Structure 1
Amino acid sequence: MLRSLARAVASIAVAGLLFASSALAVGRPAAAALDPFTGYLMAHFTGESATGEQIYLAHSKDGLTWRDLNNGQPVLLSTLGTRGVRDPALVRSPAGDRYWIVATDLRIASGTSWSDAVNRGSTSLVVWESRDLVNWSAPWLINVAGGISGAGNAWAPEAIWNPQTGDYVLYWATNSPRDGVTKNRIWYVRTADFRTFTAPQVYIDRPGTQAIIDTQIVEAPNSVGGYRYYRASADGHIPIEASNSVLGTWTSLGNLSHLGISNGTGGGNVVEGPMWMQFNGRNEWALWLDQFATGRGYLPITSTNLGSVQNFQHRSGYQLGVNRKRHGSILNLTAAEESRVLGRWGATAPTQRLQSYNFPDRYVRHVDYDVRIDANVSPAQDAQFRVVPGLAANSGYVSFESVNHPGHYLRHYAYDFVLAANDGSATFAADATFRPVAGLADSGWTSFQSYNFPDRYLRHYGYLLKLDPISDATGRADATFRLTS
């Protein structure tokens, strides 16, 4: 698509600002080495279910046995673009003081067809930023493929720090016409802050009509295998390439057909979404491959020398947890990072019920997404919740997540209570967050004070749940509950 002169001038101005900031980045002293790594964090999505195309996290101590975090529920939800995200990439700054998640803006579960997604889909990526891996900014969109003529999508982003330029190379797949051929190619921009970026350039273009997607690069310390960087992609096969420079010349090392693995062209076990991981404390790498064709999830192949594809071998004895892991990325964690992540999302919340103080045979339950107190609740799961750290404030506050509608929480809306899916907004988080205090009618029980309306409490009225100020004995009894199994 042709761009106006004004837009071109604006793009040049943005690029100039970016390179000014990049020049400053190059001039900084080299960052100190990170502390030793003690664990692993995987970011992923789970599939095309109602909440599957969001950000999920899993943790591992050995790199092979994984446990779902946050009770297996998403930790971040996209509220922008298509309101869904896939293929998340975890990025750490060289100094280890800033983190980003960059993901595909795509939600097939909304009814989008694959044809529309690849030909008329979003050309933007979704980005979150954090200083500590647990407190994340609101998401924003970056239209990285907007400058590509005829771009139909922007898929499977990844980013790697490039010491030669002092900024990040952000790369992804876009389907667009070029030299008479419309197909997915890998494009890249340079960015220092994941907000401003250079004009997109072709990074990998296979000959003829062969498309390529899902590229991911890993850096090999001490150039084990003879190269500093290795990349895997999906182009019909799973090719492995090597280079000593992120933006330099890459050498083909072959593919994984000798292991009976391909991306379709070679048959056998058809996979996609290659995901690199170095084992902590040793020169051994895992390349995780998503067995999307059979729905069996990720499998690892491992190598102690990436210089030849013949060094890869199948690895057994791995466990991926309950959630299905779809195309993501893995970050090696320091002890401090691991402690923060597990402190925020590692606990498994028990299943509990909220019993009424003045109607002890009745329990808080949802029915058709409304919330009330009832006796003899059926199905029983309608009255079961996981009491998790507050969505708006996790110290001293709680939120109530439905057991049979994961990702849905009790929230007040116009002072009435509903069960609603977390939309990721600050308003939702505040409406779904409460402070447990001594029971207003009996200090041995519990009352729940609203986070954003602290003069109001959760109470029942006519058996329906409301958020009201409490001023009399009846109100105090209605606003008093017991958490029970």
Structure 2
Amino acid sequence: MSALRARLSAMVLAVCLLFTGLAVAAPQRAAAADPGYLMVHFTGEGATSQQMYLSHSTDGLHWNDLNGGGMVLRSTVGTRGVRDPALVRSPDGSRYWIIATDLCIGCGQNWDQAVNNASRNLVVWESTDLVTWSQPWLLNVAGAIPDGRNAWAPEAIWSPETNDYVLYWATNTPLNGATKHRIYAARTSDFRTITTPQLYIDRPGTQEIIDTQIIEMPAGVGNYRYVRASGDGQITLEGSNSIFGTWTDLGNLSAIGLPGSQVEGPMWMKFNGTNKWALYLDQYATNRGYMPVLTTDPSNPATYQKLTSSDYNMGGTKKRHGWILNLTAAEESRVLAGWPNTPAQRLQSFNFQDRYVRQTNFDVRIDPNVSPLDDSRFRLRPGLAGSGTVSFESVNFPGYFLRHSNYDFQLAYNDGTTQFAEDATFRQVAGLADPTWSSFQSYNFPDRYMRHYAYELRLDPITTTTARGDATFRVTS
């Protein structure tokens, strides 16, 4: 009997090992209650695609666009375009930063200019809840690098040894007879000031390195505390026991058909509740955005496996070089509530039906033939000041709302004050000129309504037939 039990035990063990080996190809959620994942990314070229977008996944492989697939943050500083974002959480979870490349290809700058004479700054946003973000600011990281010509693809990792962040990025600069992109690094505690940048990663000869991302490994996995993946002609894997220590070349992903000529922008994600990882790679050569490869040991190139296209779904928008955050339950609740897929809509004038409410240089009026169309598109959010009301958030300037000031309308950034919330909140009522349309009554001046006058939007008392027509709108797509 003991021999039979031994044989049965061996068979059970073999089956368990078989399924453990297969699990890397199709990882499952550890538990139904596990929170999911948040990706911040950009979507392509052009002024609106080079902004910040968010996507959510419950399993790390199937992604849903948040905010109706629209941008969630728009840069109003520097080049007014952003790429290659990193999403950084403070160790205590009380603060978050998005740091991104200040670059807008195809909207004022071409690739030659971007390589040789571009912004030396990064763009930074800060938040305490992943939903409400500060106004962006510029952080000059490459200005102190001799003949530093740009600052691309920033990343950051918390350093327990120094109790701050190691911020690292690529800068094109001439050094030792070669002008090329190298990785520089500095330390920061607030992403407003940094220590003097130092050369961090340099490849031999003329070989450039632009994209790199570091992850800290859990105890017992692999032989290194840190693993980094870099785009340097290959997707090169390296290991080290210290962020600023000696790094060992572990190999690359060319054996599975993913050389650096095909993919870039490595982005790590650890699956919840298990020692399995996805390394997302941007398929820039074929213009297809991100794809995942899976591994049970990021330090071992032999463990990486490609998936079939049916094993994952990247959602409706193209996902390009970004960052994935494993959410807590509280974070996930805030994110899903804060970025619902509210449709983008327009406000059509009742008495000038070829005209729509639009913003132009943050002034608000009604116009025909609005271009770009998104200047006249808004998301009707739950009112900032009270239930049963609405506020109008701009589609192409997220975080900006229609608000009145001295009875004149403007598109303004939500500064979080009570005054702003009240000025930007309205009660949607039956149209004053036609009950099948709508009128919008001011929350804090209930005797006044949104109306146009000489095509400009105002907040006025409504006492005449003409004014009732001016204050009536259709909410339409």
> Which range, TM-score by smaller chain?
0.7 to 0.9
Partner Cα distance (2:208, 2:171) in 1: 10
Asked whether the 8 Å contact 2:449–2:460 carries over to 1, the reply is yes
Q: 1:53 to 1:455 in 2, by over 3 A?
A: farther
Alignment of 1:39-54 (within 5 A): 39-54=36-51
Matched, 1:339 2:336: no
Asked whether the 8 Å contact 2:365–2:452 carries over to 1, the reply is no
Partner Cα distance (2:340, 2:54) in 1: 10
Q: 1:308 to 1:109 in 2, by over 3 A?
A: same
Partner Cα distance (2:83, 2:414) in 1: 19
Asked whether the 8 Å contact 2:347–2:357 carries over to 1, the reply is no
Q: 1:52 to 1:473 in 2, by over 3 A?
A: same
Secondary structure class of the residue paired with 2:235: coil
Query: Which residue of structure 2 aligns with residue 216 of structure 1?
Result: 213
- Residue identity opposite 2:283 in structure 1: Q
Alignment of 1:448-459 (within 5 A): 448-449=440-441, 457-459=449-451
Shift of 1:322: 1.3
Q: 1:125 to 1:407 in 2, by over 3 A?
A: closer
Query: Which residue of structure 2 aligns with residue 190 of structure 1?
Result: 187
Q: 1:286 to 1:368 in 2, by over 3 A?
A: closer
Asked whether the 8 Å contact 1:88–1:102 carries over to 2, the reply is yes
Q: Alignment partner for residue 60 of structure 1, among 41, 57, 71?
A: 57
Query: Which residue of structure 2 aligns with residue 387 of structure 1?
Result: 379
Shift of 1:226: 2.1
- Residue identity opposite 1:324 in structure 2: K
Which of 270-279 and 472-481 deviates more? 472-481
The runs of 5 or more residues in structure 2 that have no matched partner are: 1-32
Shift of 1:127: 0.8
Asked whether the 8 Å contact 2:359–2:375 carries over to 1, the reply is no
Among all aligned residue pairs of Structure 1 and Structure 2, give the percentage whose two residues are the same amino acid: 53
Query: Which residue of structure 2 aligns with residue 307 of structure 1?
Result: 299
Deviation string 1:287-334 (CA, Å, 9 cap, x unpaired) is 001011111111100001223101000023111111111111100101
RMSD: 3.7
Secondary structure class of the residue paired with 2:48: coil
Query: Which residue of structure 2 aligns with residue 26 of structure 1?
Result: none
Q: Alignment partner for residue 289 of structure 2, among 294, 297, 302?
A: 297
Matched, 1:141 2:138: yes
Which of 389-398 and 154-163 deviates more? 389-398
- Residue identity opposite 1:69 in structure 2: L
Q: Alignment partner for residue 163 of structure 1, among 160, 181, 186?
A: 160
- Residue identity opposite 2:273 in structure 1: G
TM-score by length of structure 2 reads 0.80
Number of aligned residues: 432
Asked whether the 8 Å contact 2:403–2:424 carries over to 1, the reply is no
TM-score by length of structure 1 reads 0.78
Shift of 1:456: 5.2
Matched, 1:236 2:257: no
Deviation string 1:73-118 (CA, Å, 9 cap, x unpaired) is 1111111111111100000011111100000111112231212111
Query: Which residue of structure 1 aligns with residue 356 of structure 2?
Result: 365
Query: Which residue of structure 2 aligns with residue 82 of structure 1?
Result: 79
Query: Which residue of structure 2 aligns with residue 71 of structure 1?
Result: 68
Query: Which residue of structure 1 aligns with residue 273 of structure 2?
Result: 281
Partner Cα distance (1:348, 1:401) in 2: 12
Shift of 1:448: 2.1
Alignment of 1:350-361 (within 5 A): 354=348, 356=350
Partner Cα distance (2:374, 2:60) in 1: 37
Q: 1:436 to 1:47 in 2, by over 3 A?
A: same
Secondary structure class of the residue paired with 1:293: helix
Secondary structure class of the residue paired with 1:50: coil
- Residue identity opposite 2:144 in structure 1: G
Shift of 1:44: 0.6
The runs of 5 or more residues in structure 1 that have no matched partner are: 1-35, 265-269
Q: Alignment partner for residue 319 of structure 2, among 321, 325, 344?
A: 325
- Residue identity opposite 2:321 in structure 1: H
Query: Which residue of structure 2 aligns with residue 28 of structure 1?
Result: none
Partner Cα distance (1:166, 1:245) in 2: 14
Q: 1:280 to 1:362 in 2, by over 3 A?
A: same
Q: Alignment partner for residue 94 of structure 2, among 91, 94, 97?
A: 97
Q: 1:205 to 1:391 in 2, by over 3 A?
A: farther
Partner Cα distance (2:303, 2:214) in 1: 18
Shift of 1:72: 1.2
Which of 288-297 and 472-481 deviates more? 472-481
